[in-house]
Amino acid sequence: MHIVVPSSSNTFQQSWIASGRILFLIAVSGLGAIGLVVLSALWAGTESDAAALDRQRQLVNARLREQVDQVAHVIGQFGNGYLAGVYPASRAAGVSSSLDTVLTAAAGSAISQTAMSAFGYDQAFVVDDKAQLIMMTDAETEKRYRWMRPLFLPLLKDARLTGSRGTVPSDRTPSSMESRFADTARANRALANLMRLEGRPTIVGIVAVNEAAESQPQPMRQFLIVVRFLDGAALDELSRQQGLNGARFARTADADENEVAFQIDATANGEPIGFIVWRPDLPGSRVIGRLMPALSIAALVIAVLFSVLLLRLRSSLGELKKSELHARQLALHDVLTGLPNRAMFAMRFEECLADPRNSTERSAVALLDLDRFKAVNDTFGHAAGDELIRMAAARIRALLRPDDTLARLGGDEFALLLPNIRDDQTLPSICDAIVAELGKPFPLLRGEAVARVGGSIGVTVVPDAGRNADDIMRYADVALYEAKMGGRGQWRVYSPSMDGGRNARDILKNELREVLAKSTASFPETSSSAPVTGRSDFGSLEVYYQTVHRAGQGFQASGAEALVRWRHSQRGLLTPASFIPAAEEGGLIDALGFWVLREACRAACKWPEGTFVAVNVSPAQLRRPNFAEEVFAVLEESRLSPYRLELELTESSLIEDNSEIYSVLRSLRSQGVQISLDDFGTGFSCLSHLVRFEIDRIKIDRSFVSLLGTKANGAAIIGAIVALSRNLGISTTAEGVETEYQRDFLAALGCTDLQGYFFSKPLPLRELDCFGKSESGAALRTIVPGAIA
Domain harbouring 455, CATH code: 3.30.70.270
Q: Which residues pair with 443 in a beta bridge?
A: 450
Q: Are residues 350 and 272 in the same domain?
A: no
Q: Is the pLDDT of residue 232 over 90?
A: no
Do the domain assignments include residue 779?
no
Please tell me the total count of domains within the chain. Answer: 3
Name the burial class of residue 421, with classes exposed (0-12), middle (13-18) and buried (19+) by CB atoms within 10 angstroms of its CB.
Answer: middle
Same domain, 700 and 715: yes
pLDDT above 90 (res 27): no
Give residue 531's pLDDT: 35
Alpha-carbon dihedral of residues 643, 647, 649, 655, nearest 10 degrees?
A: -60
Contact 198, 147 (CB under 8 A): yes
Beta carbons of 294 and 282 less than 8 angstroms apart: no
Residue 101: inside a domain: yes
* Residue that wins the pLDDT comparison between 442 and 625: 442
Query: Does the pLDDT of residue 527 top 50, yes or no?
Result: no
Q: Are residues 360 and 400 in the same domain?
A: yes
pLDDT at 30: 67
Q: Are residues 411 and 459 in the same domain?
A: yes
Condensed to tens digits (0 to 9), the pLDDT of residues 645-656 reads 999 987 666 655
640: Cβ–Cβ under 8 A, 6 or more apart, which residues? 601, 602, 604, 605, 613
pLDDT digit string (tens) for 325-374? 777 777 788 888 889 988 889 888 888 888 766 556 788 999 999 987 87
Backbone dihedral angles phi then psi of residue 478, each to the nearest 5 degrees: -65, -45
Please tell me the predicted confidence (pLDDT) of residue 640. 93
Edge-first strand order for the sheet with 455-462 is 405-410, 413-418, 363-370, 455-462, 491-493
Q: Where are the alpha helices (DSSP H) in 333-425?
A: 342-354, 373-380, 382-399
Task: Please state the rounded mean pLDDT for residues 171-185.
Answer: 41
CATH of the domain at 728: 3.20.20.450
Bridge partners of residue 458, in order along the sequence: 367, 492
pLDDT at position 97, please?
52
pLDDT at 162: 60
Collapse the DSSP code of 769 into the 3-class scheme (helix H, G, I; strand E, B; otherwise coil) and give the result.
coil
Each residue of 691-738: pLDDT tens digit?
Answer: 777 888 989 888 888 888 777 677 888 888 888 888 888 899 999 999
* 259 shares a domain with 158: yes
- The answer to whether 653 touches 676, Cβ cutoff 8 Å, is no
Comparing 756 with 313, the larger pLDDT belongs to: 756
DSSP state of 502: T
Local confidence band at 395 (pLDDT 50, 70, 90 cut-offs): very high
In the listed set 475, 502, 529, which residue is the last one of a domain according to the structure?
A: 502
pLDDT at 182 over 60: no
β-bridge mates for residue 272, sequence order: 265
Q: Would the pLDDT of 178 be above 50? A: no
Tell me whether residue 232 is in a domain.
yes
Q: How many CB atoms lie within 10 A of CB 241?
A: 11
- 403, part of any domain: yes
Is 53 domain-assigned?
Answer: no
Is 310 among the domain residues?
no
Instruction: Please enumerate in sequence order all residues whose Cβ is within 8 A of that of 54, keeping only pairs 6 or more positions apart, or say none.
Output: none
Q: Residue 596: what pLDDT? A: 94
DSSP code string of 691-759: HHTT--EEEE-HHHHTTTTT-HHHHHHHHHHHHHHHHHT-EEEE----SHHHHHHHHHHT-SEE-STTT
Is the domain of 744 the same as that of 669?
Answer: yes
Tell me the pLDDT band of 528, cut-offs 50, 70 and 90.
very low
Is 379 in the same domain as 489? yes
In 10 A of CB 528, how many CB atoms? Answer: 18
pLDDT of residue 15: 58
How confident is the model at residue 134, as a pLDDT? Answer: 84
The pLDDT value given to residue 682: 63
Encoded amino acid at 48, one letter:
S
Note if the pTM is more than 0.75. Answer: no
Per-residue pLDDT at 93 exceeds 60: no
pLDDT given for residue 549 in this prediction:
93
Say which range, 223-227, 347-351, 465-469, 583-587, has the weakest mean pLDDT: 465-469
pLDDT, one tens digit per residue, over 415-424 is 999 988 877 7
pLDDT at 212: 57
105-109-111 Cα angle (round to 5): 110
CA–CA separation, 491 and 481 (whole Å) = 10
The more confident residue out of 210 and 152 is 152
Contact predicate 519/541, CB 8 Å: yes
Q: Which of 502, 536, 562 is the last residue of a domain?
A: 502
Mean pLDDT across 266-270: 76
Q: In the chain, pLDDT over 90 holds for what percent of residues? A: 18
Instruction: State which H helix or E strand residue 11 sits in.
Output: helix 10-85
The angle that helices 627-638 and 658-670 make with each other, rounded to 10 degrees, is: 20
Burial (Cβ within 10 Å: 0-12, 13-18, ≥19) of residue 139:
exposed
End position of a domain, from candidates 254, 279, 304: 279
Q: Does 741 lie in the same domain as 621?
A: yes
Indicate if the pLDDT at residue 213 is higher than 60.
no
Q: Crossing angle of helices 10-85/283-332, nearest 10°?
A: 180
CA-to-CA distance for 693 and 697, rounded, in angstroms? 11
- Same domain for 200 and 130, yes or no, is yes
pLDDT for res 458:
92
Task: Determine the Cα angle at 691 with ends 689 and 695, to 5°.
Answer: 75
Q: Is the dihedral of CA 556, 560, 566, 569 positive or negative?
A: positive
* Counts for the chain of helices (H) and strands (E), in that order: 22, 24
∠ CA 216-218-220, rounded to 5° = 150
Which range of 8-17, 404-413, 500-509 scores highest in mean pLDDT? It is: 404-413
- State which of 74-88, 182-196, 260-274, 329-343 shows the largest mean pLDDT: 329-343
* Residues 130, 204 share a domain: yes
| pLDDT band, very low/low/confident/very high, at 91 (cuts 50, 70, 90) | very low
C-beta separation of 194 from 68 below 8 A? yes
Q: What is the radius of gyration, based on Cα positions, of the chain?
A: 63
Q: pLDDT at position 776, please?
A: 32
| Residue closest to 525 by CA, chosen among 598, 453, 468 | 598
Query: Around Cβ 105, how many Cβ atoms within 10 Å?
Result: 16
What's the confidence (pLDDT) of residue 1?
40
Helix (H), strand (E) at residue 228:
strand 222-229
Q: Is residue 494 part of a domain?
A: yes
What type of residue is 203? Answer: I
CB 215: neighbour CB atoms within 10 A? Answer: 10
Q: What is the pLDDT of residue 214?
A: 56
Distance (Å, whole) CA 529 – CA 363 = 44
- Is it the case that residue 518 has pLDDT exceeding 50? yes
20 confidence band (pLDDT: 50, 70, 90): low
Query: Do 760 and 625 fall within a single domain?
Result: yes
**Which one has a higher pLDDT value, 654 or 277?**
277
The residues, ordered by sequence, that sit 6+ positions from 114 with a Cβ below 8 Å of its Cβ are 78, 124
Task: Please determine, for residue 775, whether its predicted confidence score (pLDDT) is greater than 60.
Answer: no
Query: What is the edge-to-edge ordering of all strands in the sheet holding 123-128?
Result: 123-128, 222-229, 200-208, 190-197
Of the segments 98-112, 118-132, 279-293, which one has the largest average pLDDT value? Answer: 118-132
Question: Which pLDDT score is estimated for 396?
Answer: 94
Q: In terms of pLDDT, which residue wins out, 395 or 52?
A: 395
Pick 442 or 170 by higher pLDDT: 442
Q: Which domain holds residue 144?
A: 62-162+178-279
Mean pLDDT of 445-468: 82
First-residue to last-residue Cα distance in the chain: 55
d(CA 616, CA 140): 142
| Domain-located, residue 221 | yes
pLDDT band at 19 (very low <50, low <70, confident <90, very high): low
Dihedrals φ, ψ of 97, to 5°? -70, -40
Name the amino acid, one letter, at 698: I
Does the N-terminal peptide bond of residue 201 adopt cis geometry, omega within 30 degrees of 0?
A: no
Question: How far apart are alpha carbons 151 and 155 in whole angstroms?
Answer: 8
Q: Which of 22-26, 35-39, 712-716 has the lowest mean pLDDT?
A: 22-26
For all residues of the chain together, what is the average pLDDT? 77
pLDDT at 10 over 60: no
Q: Are residues 419 and 556 in the same domain?
A: no
